[in-house]
A and B are shown apart, each in its own frame.
Chain A
Amino acid sequence: AQKVTQAQTEISVVEKEDVTLDCVYETRDTTYYLFWYKQPPSGELVFLIRRNSFDEQNEISGRYSWNFQKSTSSFNFTITASQVVDSAVYFCALNDNDYKLSFGAGTTVTVRA
């Protein structure tokens, strides 16, 4: 069964628009961690955020913000005032065991100038 669902395959926006990436996860564990990674065109995977299941506070880091809602099993990611450099594939991931990251399929974000 798919543990992490990123329903949006591709999103295209014009620079300065906000963009929200959806992530829905599935787990029976009460302790788990959620992650977001960015994969720019150069190919590497860049860690963005880690959030544990006991901390539902929203987090903001510059133009990035994350909304974690256990009630809907969602961990959504918003880029405010998008820039061309934000163009990348963004992956949501879940860890509900000791070590294995279960990745979503990714959402390709294209920001046009």
Chain B
Amino acid sequence: DAGVIQSPRHEVTEMGQEVTLRCKPISGHNSLFWYRQTMMRGLELLIYFNNNVPIDDSGMPEDRFSAKMPNASFSTLKIQPSEPRDSAVYFCASSSGTGTMNTEAFFGQGTRLTVV
């Protein structure tokens, strides 16, 4: 299996622009997570999907952030409008079963977002 695939790997955009990050989870995994990594806050969970349904979006920082999972093999994280403080590495992860309590989450290579 190719693992969790994220695109793009790097994104540089101007403040105010819309940014869309993409994720293809591992085939057969039914849990998908979006994490954000910053120097100040470390790794934090943004949103968790199970069987394509958002279960917990309490980590989404504000209304500018939205995530969708239209099917089992694709998810997007959108920021509109983007701001410089959104600059971070965004990771997508997937796992089998319900959540990660008893299974490990496999992470993609991340998307490094820079908003100027």
Helix, strand, loop or mixed for chain B's interface? strand
The closest CB in chain B to the CB of A31 belongs to: B101
Checking A99, A104, A105 against B33 with a beta-carbon cut-off of 8 angstroms, the contacting residue is: A99
CB distance from A98 to the nearest CB of B (A): 4
**Contact between B45 and A44, CB atoms less than 8 A apart:** no
Within 8 A of B (CB), among A39-94: 42-47, 50, 52, 91
Checking B42, B50, B56, B101 against A33 with a beta-carbon cut-off of 8 angstroms, the contacting residue is: B101
The closest CB in chain B to the CB of A93 belongs to: B43
Chain A contact residues (Cβ within 8 angstroms of B): what range?
Answer: 20 to 34
- Chain B interface residue count, CB cutoff 8 Å, equals 26
Q: Can you list 19 contacts pairing A with B, beta carbon distance less than 8 Å?
A: A35-B104, A37-B107, A42-B109, A43-B89, A43-B109, A45-B107, A47-B105, A47-B106, A47-B107, A91-B43, A95-B100, A95-B101, A98-B98, A99-B100, A100-B99, A100-B100, A101-B43, A103-B42, A104-B42
Residues on A lying within 8 angstroms of B by beta carbon are: 33, 35, 37, 42-47, 50, 52, 91, 95, 97-101, 103-106
Residues on B lying within 8 angstroms of A by beta carbon are: 31, 33, 42-43, 45, 48, 50, 55-56, 89, 91, 93, 98-110, 112
